[in-house]
Amino acid sequence: MERRTILKAAGASAAVLGLGATTGCGGGSGAGDGTVTIRYSWWGAEERAKRINRTITLFEKKYPKIKVKTDFQTYQSFWEKFQTQASGGNPPDVFQNAVTFLRKYDKRGILLDLRPQVDAGHLNLDDFRAGVTEVGEVDGKQLGVPVGSNTMALVIDKKLWRKAGVEPHAGWTWDDFFKALKTIRDRTGVPGDTGYFGIMYLYDLYLRQNGKAFFTEDGLGFDRADLTEWWQDGYNRVRAGIVTDPKVVAQDLPKSSLSAGHGASEFTWDNFTVRYHSEGDSTYGLAPIPTTDGRHTGQYLASLMLSASARTAHPEEVARFIDFMVHDPEVGRIMGYDRGILAGTEQYDAFKPADEINKEIARYEADTAEAGVLGTITPHPSGADTVEAAFLRIGGDLGLGKVKVSDAVKQFFDESQAAFQA
- If asked whether residues 6 and 139 sit together in one domain, one would say yes
- Which residue, among 419, 413, 409, has the nearest Cα to 230 in the 3D structure? 409
Average of per-residue pLDDT across 2-7: 39
- If asked whether residues 275 and 364 sit together in one domain, one would say no
**Domains in the chain, number:** 2
- If asked whether residues 410 and 286 sit together in one domain, one would say yes
pLDDT digits (tens, 9 = 90+) for 369-406: 888 888 888 779 999 999 999 999 999 899 888 999 99
Whether the CB-CB separation of 26 and 313 falls below 8 Å is answered with yes
The mean predicted confidence, pLDDT, of the chain is 90
- If asked whether residues 333 and 390 sit together in one domain, one would say no
Strand partners, 36: 30, 66
Please give the Cα distance from 399 to 150 (Å, whole number).
27
49 SS3 class: helix
Q: Is residue 226 part of a domain?
A: yes
Q: What is the pLDDT of residue 28?
A: 56
Please give the Cα distance from 146 to 143 (Å, whole number).
10
- If asked whether residues 226 and 79 sit together in one domain, one would say no
DSSP conformational letter for 21? P
Average of per-residue pLDDT across 187-191: 98
The answer to whether residue 31 scores a pLDDT higher than 80 is no
pTM: 0.82
**150 φ, ψ (degrees, to nearest 5):** -155, 170
CATH number of the domain that residue 12 is part of? 3.40.190.10
- If asked whether residues 70 and 201 sit together in one domain, one would say no
- Neighbouring residues of 211: CB distance < 8 A, sequence distance ≥ 6: none
The answer to whether residue 200 scores a pLDDT higher than 80 is yes
Average of per-residue pLDDT across 352-374: 88
Q: What is the pLDDT of residue 10?
A: 35
pLDDT digits (tens, 9 = 90+) for 234-265: 999 999 999 999 999 999 988 899 999 999 99
- If asked whether residues 282 and 389 sit together in one domain, one would say yes
- Which residue, among 328, 184, 327, 376, has the nearest Cα to 266 in the 3D structure? 184
Q: Is residue 395 part of a domain?
A: yes
